[in-house]
Chains A and B, each alone.
Chain A
């Protein structure tokens, strides 16, 4: 079955610098790759997602890149701010019907240093 590995498990960056979180997946049929942000004691919330028919997607300070050949995708946060401190999860799924289960990585705790 699908396996998603996420690195690093913890990341500390200076405010204003960039942060990069990387994930690899095992099932080459996976076609949907969302990223979720979870603040302490809160529910996970989607911040950006990408599908296998594109290589990059950007939304303001957040971008995601996908390399289907290498089976890895990355989250890039530029100009980091204190409110970016949270746990970030990547996930992968291969879509429709009975194959649609969504598997998550183990998470990255991002801390922004003032």
Chain B
């Protein structure tokens, strides 16, 4: 049972380049989300999804796109990378049950640097 798998672990990009951060979970969780973590600012929600075919914006969605074609995968796309997107990115997943969220399982993170 791999849990939440993020690839790559590290990436350096030049301003204006595009790339996709991959996230996959094997726990059949409905809820998946992407956070960015910057010093002193905690974990800020970028986008989230409550199931295949459903996505929604979080606190800081600008500059990022997501899609959820399957339950397992939730890729995050940077269309034109900017230095302000230098950060550590975490993907997380959790089941949805009843009227309340459940604990999230986090991936190991992707450290992204934009030059």
Contacts and interface: CB of A to CB of B under 8 A. Distances in A.
Contact of B104 (A31, A34, A96): A34
Nearest to A106: B42
Give the contact-size bracket for chain A: 20 to 34
A1 B103 CA distance: 21
Interface in B15-62: 31, 33, 35, 40-45, 48, 50, 54, 56, 58-59
A98 B59 CA distance: 14
> What's the dominant secondary structure at chain B's contact region?
strand
Q: In which size bucket is the chain B interface?
A: 20 to 34
Contacts, number: 71
Interface of A: 1, 6, 9, 31-32, 34, 42-46, 49, 51, 89, 91, 93, 95-98, 100-107
Interface of B: 31, 33, 35, 40-45, 48, 50, 54, 56, 58-59, 90, 96, 98-101, 103-104, 106-109
A103 B107 CA distance: 17
A106 B45 contact: no
24 contacts: A32-B101, A42-B108, A43-B107, A43-B108, A46-B103, A46-B104, A51-B100, A91-B43, A95-B98, A95-B99, A96-B100, A97-B50, A97-B96, A100-B31, A100-B50, A100-B96, A101-B56, A102-B33, A103-B45, A104-B44, A104-B45, A106-B41, A107-B40, A107-B42
